[in-house]
Amino acid sequence: MDSHPYARLTPDLVLDGVAAANLRPDGRLLSLNSYENRVYQVWLEDGAVVVAKFYRPNRWSDAQIDEEHAFAHELAEREIPVVAPTHSLRFADFRIAIYPRRGGRTPELGDEKTLEWIGRFIGRIHAVGATQPFGQREALTPKSFGHDMRAFLLSTNFIPGDLLEAWKAVTHQALAGVDRCFVGGHTAIRLHGDCHVGNVLWTDDGPHFVDLDDARMGPAMQDLWMLLSGDRTAMGRQLRAVLNGYEEFAQFDRSELRLLEALRTLRLIHYSAWIARRWDDPAFPAAFPWFNTQRYWQDRILELREQIALMEEEPLAAG
């Protein structure tokens, strides 16, 4: 018998949860691609279509989810294109948020005008995010995203025995590099937190941002670096385009450029720990069958060695 909380999340329970928000589903629903939470497109009798998000139990407290929603509404009220929930409720031990459906396509990050446009709205998000802190949500720090995740992975049996010492050594060295990059501090503001291309949808009217599930306190660079790709020359060009838009609305502290590769390193370690923490959810072994393999951990060791070298280089120039 599957005892994972999501095992109870039948189509009928999903529809009943939407109905509990005083909406009238017509019986049709479609499961959308999401692993951390469960997300469904639900058709209503009046012809409207909504997106219902069932939060992973025991990840966030009600107060933390309320802060996420309040931030989304604060941004939307300032006409920043963030999709905010229209309904928030608890039903059958699940915390549920219901959103209007917003379509869009993947933005062309190779286009500097697109990057500038996205940067403009991230600047607006950060201008609002800097006005007050989160009181309940977690902060992105080397400890929370790196050292704690390393300790957790070492407490599991996922890392193959013959690679364990190499992984311990490379993560120790990588996190020492991260710690050095974070010396000197930074201004922590409220962030989107997971601002990669999959969470930015593009229409003819420009971008809109979805999924504030990872909103937290942290450095502004966290919402910028995942938009960059390629070699240093390409990344520098992309960053200049992003900042051209960003700095119309918020000042970017150039000292945070030293955090770019440190933040990438933290994400790599955090990602492995995230999958390991969720391995009891049947969706994860099915979606990530390569995780529990020798090759996966060999690749992570090589990846972190590259990051150690990158963190030793001069920060990317932003012009």
Residues designated catalytic: 194, 211
Helices marked H in 50-200 — which ranges? 62-77, 112-129, 142, 148-154, 164-182
Which residues does 225 contact at the CB level (< 8 Å), separation at least 6? Answer: 259, 260, 263, 264
276: enclosing H helix or E strand: helix 260-277
**138 φ/ψ angles, rounded to the nearest 5 degrees:** -70, 160
**Tokens coding 318:** 């932003």
The alpha carbon torsion through 199, 228, 138, 313 (nearest 10 deg) reads 170
**Distance from C-alpha of 301 to C-alpha of 234, rounded to nearest angstrom:** 26
Amino acid at 84: A
Q: How many CB atoms lie within 10 A of CB 258?
A: 19
Q: Compute CA 34 distance to the chain's CA centroid, rounded to the nearest angstrom.
A: 12
Q: Please give the sequence-ordered ranges of beta strands (E in DSSP) within the chain, or none if there are none.
A: 25-31, 38-44, 49-54, 87-91, 94-100, 189-191, 200-203, 206-209, 216-218
By C-alpha distance, which of 107, 110, 103, 135 is closest to 122?
Answer: 107
**Tokens coding 249:** 């609305």
